[in-house]
C-alpha cells in the first residue's frame, strides 16, 4: 500500500513539474497575463493569443494536396501578415496595451473601431487556423473530445456534417467554427467576414476550438469555386491534438 501511495505521489509530482515548466516558459511573453500562475494557468494559456504573427510550424507545401503551397504562402505572408500589421497600427492608434491578450479586446470589440474589429478578428482567426492544421492530421479525435462530440451531436459523422454545412452555407466570406459555449457544451456555427465567436457583437458565441477559413483567398487557386471540395479536404489536415488541448482548457 505504501508503494502504491509513493507511486501516485511521484506521478503527481512529475505532472505538476511538467505543468510548472510550461508556465515558466511562458513567463515574460505576456501570455499568462490573463491566467493564474498555477498549472491551470499554464493550460489556460493555450487559449491566449498575442498581437503578433507567429511562425508556421510547417512548410508551405506540407499540407498539399489538400492545401497547395502557393495558397499557403500567399495566405500567410500576404493576407494574414496584413491583418497582423494593421492590428499593430490599430492598437497604437487606440492606445491598447500590447501585453494584454487579444481575446480581451475581442470580447469588448464593440468599444473599438471597425479597423480593430476587422484586423483583430482577422489576426486571431488566422493564428488559430494555422494551429489546427498539420501535415499528419485527419482521422478522428480521441479521448474526452471524442466523448463530448458524441454527446453533443450524436456521432462524429453527425458533427462533421453539421460543420460542413456551416462552412458550405456561409454566404460570402467568413468562418465555420466548433466552440465550447457558455454552458461548457460543444456547438457549431459560422460568422461573417473576420468576425469570430469571441466578439461581443457576434450572434454565435463561444471559445473557438476549430476554425475553417472559407474566404476565397483560402482555397481559390486550387479549388476555384468548388468550396465543398475544399471543406472536404480540410478534414485530412486537422490537428486533433491541438483541438483536444483547446477543449481541455476551455472546459475547465
User: Does residue 205 lie in a domain region?
Assistant: yes
pLDDT of residue 252: 86
Residue 14 belongs to what domain range?
2-45
Which residue carries 503551397 as its cell?
69
Are residues 29 and 105 both part of a single domain?
no
Residue 50 lies in a domain: no
Residues 107 and 8 in one domain: no
Q: Are residues 36 and 94 in the same domain?
A: no
pLDDT at site 207 = 98
Q: What is the pLDDT along the chain (252 residues), one digit of tens a residue?
A: 434 334 434 334 333 433 333 333 333 334 444 444 445 666 678 999 999 999 999 999 999 999 999 999 999 999 999 999 999 999 999 999 999 999 999 999 999 999 999 999 999 999 999 999 999 999 999 999 999 999 999 999 999 999 999 999 999 999 999 999 999 999 999 999 999 999 999 999 999 999 999 999 999 999 999 999 999 999 999 999 999 999 999 998
Question: Do 34 and 149 reside in the same domain of the chain?
Answer: no
Residue 16: per-residue pLDDT: 41
Domain count, the chain: 2
Residues 6+ apart with CB under 8 A from 160: 235
Residue 44: what pLDDT?
A: 77
Question: Quick one: three-class SS letters along the chain?
Answer: CHHHHHHHHHHHHHHHHHHHHHHHHHCCCCHHHHCCCCHHHHHHHHHCCCCCCCCCCCCCCCCCCCCCHHHHHHHHHHHHHHHHHHHHHHHHHCCCCCCCCHHHHHHCHHHCCHHHHHHHHHHHHHHHHHHCECCCCCCCCCHHHHHHHHHHHCCHHHHHHHHHHHHHHCCCCEEEEEEECCCCCEEEEEEECCCCCCCCCCCCCCEEEEEEECCHHHCHHHHCCCHHHHHHHHCCCECHHHHHHHHHHHCC
79/135 same-domain check: yes
**Residues 76, 9 share a domain:** no
Q: Quick one: 203 and 147 in the same domain?
A: yes
Q: Specify the pLDDT at position 31.
A: 42
Q: What is the pTM of this model?
A: 0.85
**Contact (CB, 8 A) for 240 and 141:** yes
The CATH number given to whatever domain includes residue 223 is 3.55.40.20
Same domain, 111 and 203: yes
Tell me, what's the pLDDT at 100?
A: 95
Amino acid at each position: 500500500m505504501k508503494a502504491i501511495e509513493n507511486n501516485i505521489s511521484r506521478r503527481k509530482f512529475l505532472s505538476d513539474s511538467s505543468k510548472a515548466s510550461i508556465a515558466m516558459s511562458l513567463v515574460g511573453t505576456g501570455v499568462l497575463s490573463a491566467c493564474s500562475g498555477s498549472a491551470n494557468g499554464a493550460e489556460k494559456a493555450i487559449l491566449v493569443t498575442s498581437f503578433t504573427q507567429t511562425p508556421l510550424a510547417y512548410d508551405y507545401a506540407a499540407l498539399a494536396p489538400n492545401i497547395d503551397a502557393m495558397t499557403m504562402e500567399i495566405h500567410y505572408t500576404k493576407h494574414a501578415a496584413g491583418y497582423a500589421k494593421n492590428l499593430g497600427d490599430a492598437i497604437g492608434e487606440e492606445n491598447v496595451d500590447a501585453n494584454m491578450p487579444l481575446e480581451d479586446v475581442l470580447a469588448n470589440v464593440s468599444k473599438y473601431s471597425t479597423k480593430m474589429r476587422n484586423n483583430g478578428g482577422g489576426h486571431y482567426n488566422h493564428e488559430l487556423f494555422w494551429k489546427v492544421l498539420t501535415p499528419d492530421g485527419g482521422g478522428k479525435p480521441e479521448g474526452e473530445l471524442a466523448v463530448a462530440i458524441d454527446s453533443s451531436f450524436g456521432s462524429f459523422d453527425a458533427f462533421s456534417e453539421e460543420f460542413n454545412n456551416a462552412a458550405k452555407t456561409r454566404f460570402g466570406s467568413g468562418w465555420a467554427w466548433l466552440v465550447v459555449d457558455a454552458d461548457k457544451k460543444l456547438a457549431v456555427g459560422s460568422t461573417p467576414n473576420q468576425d469570430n465567436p469571441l466578439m461581443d457583437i457576434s450572434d454565435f458565441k463561444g471559445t473557438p476550438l476549430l476554425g475553417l477559413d472559407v474566404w476565397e483567398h483560402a482555397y481559390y487557386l486550387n479549388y476555384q469555386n468548388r468550396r465543398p471540395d475544399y471543406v472536404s479536404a480540410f478534414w485530412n489536415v486537422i490537428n486533433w491534438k491541438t483541438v483536444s488541448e483547446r477543449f481541455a482548457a476551455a472546459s475547465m
